[in-house]
Amino acid sequence: MKQNLVALMGLSYLISFPVLATDSHCREQENIIFSCSLGKNIVSVCASKDISQNSGYLQYRFGQKNTPELIFPASTEPSHHADIQARTLMFSGGGGAYLRFINGQFNYIVYTAIGKGWGTKDGVSVEKDGKHIANLKCRDIPISKLGDDFFTSAGLMVDQEEFLLP
């Protein structure tokens, strides 16, 4: 009886915590910069281990587990990350960060933030021709390395557009 009670208490303890993101489109030889579940899809930002201002790659990947339907940029050749911009956000009682992947008329903005009074916001926002068309919220706690340290070491340009959290 006592063992059952202890087991039940342990199970309820585990259930009370939010689920951490464990699935990613990133490969073992890559760094996970951001990843979370959006329901049946996963959004991931993956980087080569050698990413810097002058080497490596950074990719946005979106789709079902093990079968991303969108990978941008398509190439993993070293690039200067010209179509990827980054920025940190400051809020009362918190802050956040995001990456903007610019793919022609579409922008894919992966973000994470926390603020006093509204808690956390994480996900991916999609814009077409500068207009917001979709926002997909993370269903778990994302894996995230978004922030000034990563942005600087990767040599990313600061986003000049204003991004308002959805």
- Is residue 31's pLDDT more than 70? yes
Domain span at 55: 2-158
Name the DSSP letter for residue 165.
-
Write down the pLDDT at residue 3. Answer: 46
Q: Nearest to residue 33, comparing CAs of 140, 106, 110? A: 110
CA angle 102/106/107 to nearest 5° reads 50
Residue 108 lies inside a defined structural domain of this protein: yes
Q: Mean per-residue pLDDT for 10-19?
A: 41
In-domain check, residue 109? yes
Mean per-residue pLDDT over the chain, rounded: 87
- Judge whether 164 lies within some domain: no
The predicted pLDDT at position 5 comes to 34
User: How many domains are contained in the chain?
Assistant: 1
Output the pTM of the full model.
0.85
Q: How confident is the model at residue 6 (pLDDT cuts 50, 70, 90)?
A: very low
Q: Is residue 60 part of a domain?
A: yes
Tell me whether residue 149 is in a domain. yes
